Structure 1
Amino acid sequence: MSYLLKLYSVSAVTFLTFDFIWLLLIAKKLYQEQLGGLMGQTKLVPAIVFYVIYLMGIVFFVVNPALEKGSLLYALVAGGFLGFLCYGTYDLTNLATLKDWPYLVTIIDLIWGTVVTASVSGITVYVAQHFNWR
């Protein structure tokens, strides 16, 4: 398996595990209460496209540079910043344009995006370093 495919695979398994736990077990009730009528049925194709693109961004912008620097700390900080930027773009746009978008969801999503992206980046770099991938 190629180097980048290994990195992508570790990132994907880690991110999907964390995000599904978050979405299905932890935040589901909060989103239903806070977003109410704004929520619709989940559309699988756009969700898959999001995960594919976002994971490519994590590997390209965070994991690969962190491995080149040999720095787990870089992966955690840059991953957190990427998550904050991306989730902030989504949530702050919704807050700015949607009539009933709640501040609480924006704050929680910004924290979640920061934490999950930092964690996935750090775990992926740790695994790659541990197995000496290069």
Structure 2
Amino acid sequence: MPTPLIAYLSAAVVFFGLDYIWLSRVAIGFYRSEIGDLLRDKPNMAAAAAFYLFYIGGIVYFAVIPGLQKESLAVTCFNGALLGLVAYGTYDATNLATLKNWTLNVSVVDVLWGAILTAIAASSGYLVSSYFKG
């Protein structure tokens, strides 16, 4: 199996698993109390799937592959955190600027979560790919 595919699949499993736990168990009360009036009763799963498909590709391209090229987990982790900071920061800053009931608290928590989650998913993609690469 090609290394980028291994990286993609392993990063996807970790990203989706952790994000599911975060969104459905850990932080759901926080999001409901802060922006409950903006939340759907049920998520738009097609939109969520599109996000996950594209974003995981970005994690592999911008974090995992550069780390593999330099044989550095630190590069992968840093690039993953930076990607998460930029992507989630862009999303949250836009929401803060355009949505009436979006809160700064949500933006801060969400950006931190995005940076941490992306770094962890990228690192898992790196580690699994490195293992199978030999």
TM-score normalized by structure 1? 0.95
* Structure 1 stretches lacking a partner, 5+ long: none
- Residue aligning to 1:91: 92
SS in 1 for 2:100: coil
Preserved CA contact (<8 Å) 2:15 2:117: yes
* 1:102 paired residue number: 103
The ranges of structure 1 where at least 4 consecutive aligned residues each deviate by more than 4 angstroms after the TM superposition are: none
Cα deviation per residue 1:86-134 (whole Å; 9 max; x = unaligned)? 000111100000011011000000100010001111121122222325x
> How far apart are the structure 2 equivalents of 1:77 and 1:7?
16
Partner of 1:13: 13
CA contact under 8 A between 2:77 and 2:119: conserved in structure 1?
Answer: yes
Distance apart, 1:57 and its partner CA:
0.2
Cα offsets for 1:14-47 (capped at 9, x unmatched): 1011101111110111111111211113101010
Residue aligning to 1:119:
120
**Structure 1 Cα separation of the partners of residues 108 and 3 of structure 2:** 36
RMSD, matched Cα: 1.0
- Alignment match, 2:25: 25
Percent identity, aligned pairs only, is: 39
Rounded to whole Å, the distance in 1 between the matches of 2:11 and 2:115 is 15
**Structure 2 residue ranges without an equivalent (≥5):** none
- 1:69-88 equivalences under 5 Å are 69-88=70-89
CA distance in 2 between partners of 1:24 and 1:106 (Å): 18
Q: Secondary structure at the match of 1:131?
A: helix
Alignment correspondent of 1:49: 50
Equivalent-residue separation in structure 1 for 2:131 and 2:45 (angstroms): 34
After TM superposition, the score normalised by the length of structure 2 is 0.95
- Matched with 1:58 is 59
**Distance (Å, rounded) in 1 between the aligned partners of 2:100 and 2:2:** 46
